Chain A
Amino acid sequence: MNGQGGWGWRAVKAFTVLVYLFMFAPIAVTVLLSFNPAQFGGFPMEGVTLRWFWELAANDMVLRALRTSLLIGALSALICTLLGILAAMALVRYEFRGKEWINTLLISPVLIPETVLAVGLLLFLRWLEQPRSLVLLLLGHVMLTLPFVVLVVQARLIGIKRVYEEAALSLGANRFQTFREVTLPLLMPAVLAGILLAFTISFDNVTATMFWRPAGVETMPTQIFSMLRNSISPEINALGTLMIVVTVGLPVIGAALARYVGRGQR
């Protein structure tokens, strides 16, 4: 072994670079080409422009899809966080019959293939003789994202020692006041993470959304998908860039927020 200079080590380095290239090159290309003024663009770029972004902003269909995605994402995040906190509290802090089963059932949507889930919910809807609707789409997204929120909140809650709650109770706070004053603030980083996770998962979802969306309703990913069927327009690159900004930017902001909220805590 001759350490860093060995050919084996150099091969590992080269391979690592290749792996990263493979992962990030398509993303980089999408982002770069979204600023390329050419209609049927490719490399080399002919300049830098924001034209495609302006065109996007003028595209009604895209705007409508964006609004739908934001609405569904935000509502999923809100509902999942509320349900997730409640479920995690019950599963971690209380003993009741069938707890293991409920825990497994809550997590199971992660384990079942999305297509199966999607078809299943549709069949269920058919059985109830209900039409596809935005509410259904929302419920579907809640089902898809809830397990992640429950897992994140549960993990944090297990780490919050019971003595904090016992101390609050002994000082005269009732159970609700204890939750509001002690448990929830200590849980906050996980709650924020849960909100962001739920939002991004919902915002990103394609497969199940294709099954569930009512006729004429598009979310951002399905909008991009249908635009691709017609042509490869540079607008799609711009849209992709926007999606990247949202899905990467939000967690980064969230992490910073969580650090801020969590400061001073062990």
Chain B
Amino acid sequence: MTQGEPTVELRRVTLGYGGFIAVKDVDLTVPTGTFVTLLGPSGCGKTTILRAIAGLVPALGGEIIIKGRRVNDVPIHKRNIGLVFQNYALFPHKTVFDNVAFGLKYRGVDKAAIEKRVKRALDVVRLPGVESKLPSELSGGQQQRIALARAVVIEPDVLLLDEPLSALDANLREEMRVELKSIQRTLGITTIFVTHDQEEALALSDCVVVMDHGRIEQAGAPEEVYRWPASRFVADFLGQSNLLPGQIIDVANSGATVRLSGGGEILVRNGAGAQLGQAVETVIRAHRVMVRPPGHETGPNLFDGRVQSVAYLGGMAAYVIEGEIGVHAINTIDRQIFREGDRVQVSIAPEDCVLLDDKGLRIGH
């Protein structure tokens, strides 16, 4: 697996149909062997990008490059890509063997080799021995594995997955997620994955590309995107966040102090570049807001509060806290869950705060 050199590159690509621009001037680099996820709400253009890389949507502008070759004018059947759809799209009139062998037939592979490679592909997706079955005889999860086998058996330059897990039920989805990742790792195949499910995106990817309204809002490692959202949209879309408006009232070397409009002052560490008096929004992940019994901790950013409401989530609990500051918090339940009306202390680490300017863009790094 050679990382670094890109397998897929988009250069200022614009996509659309019938006068509607779905994707505008997008740049994207997918290094060889990596798993990149396009994440965003429906209509953000993620599927359109995937289909453009596949060759199902023509580029109105810019360049699409696969393995150093400009493919804008290369028809889909000559692009050597593997495509997996949300609803499997297995050929219902062909057996599993014929489905998986389909792509090999058009690559001039001889019969014996086809048989060997189909068998190996079915082994990889852990469904050996189903060659003679029809797709309708398999469960949804099995069908999706066959679809995956059919796409990888041709050893494509890039594997394109269009929400492949969203037709499966919750338990199966999680299982398939783990498996998908391990298959991708085993084969070292460059993969572009489209989803609107952020958990999937964070769990699977080397790189998450968050999109909105046909533009890339942020691209980076899952942790980076989650912890340091580059914009208000990313902060809001990814995970549960508190977005607290306020004003910078003090700037020091290591950080800044924000007076929150809703009351209270909060010390943030990432204020590099913030100006005194600037209007900002402070982003704090609900998971990083610590709810403790009163008088439990010492340090900066301690607030007294009261539990306004509780939602029990199993291992976690989601609280709405009112008091010095009003925040949402999602915490692991340590010994006991706090009840409505309980007095609590809220603590927020300065390094868990991100500042956004009045355009909704992150200040500093």
Contact = CB atoms under 8 A, between A and B. Distances in A.
Interface of A: 161, 163-164, 166-175, 177-178, 181-182, 185-186, 264-266
B83 A264 contact: no
Given A164-B89, A170-B77, A174-B77, A264 B136 contact: yes
A182 B91 contact: yes
B89 A172 contact: no
B138 to A, nearest CB: 12
Given A161-B87, A163-B85, A265 B92 contact: yes
Contact of B150 (A171, A173, A178, A181): A171
A177 to B, nearest CB: 7
Interface of A is mostly: helix
B81 interface: yes
19 contacts: A163-B85, A167-B150, A169-B55, A170-B76, A170-B81, A170-B83, A171-B77, A171-B102, A171-B150, A172-B78, A173-B77, A173-B106, A175-B77, A177-B106, A185-B93, A264-B93, A264-B134, A264-B136, A265-B93
Given A163-B85, A264-B136, A172 B77 contact: yes
A172 B92 contact: no
Contacts of B80: 172
Nearest to A182: B91
Given A169-B76, A174-B77, A266-B136, A163 B87 contact: yes
Interface of B: 54-56, 75-83, 85, 87, 89-93, 102-103, 106-107, 134, 136, 150-151, 154
A167 B81 contact: no
Interface of B is mostly: loop
A147 to B, nearest CB: 28
Contacts of A164: 89, 91-92
Contacts of B154: 171-172
A229 to B, nearest CB: 51
Contacts of B55: 169-170
Given A169-B75, A170-B81, 18 more contacts: A164-B89, A166-B76, A167-B85, A167-B150, A169-B56, A169-B76, A170-B54, A170-B82, A171-B77, A171-B103, A172-B77, A173-B102, A173-B106, A175-B77, A177-B106, A264-B93, A264-B134, A264-B136
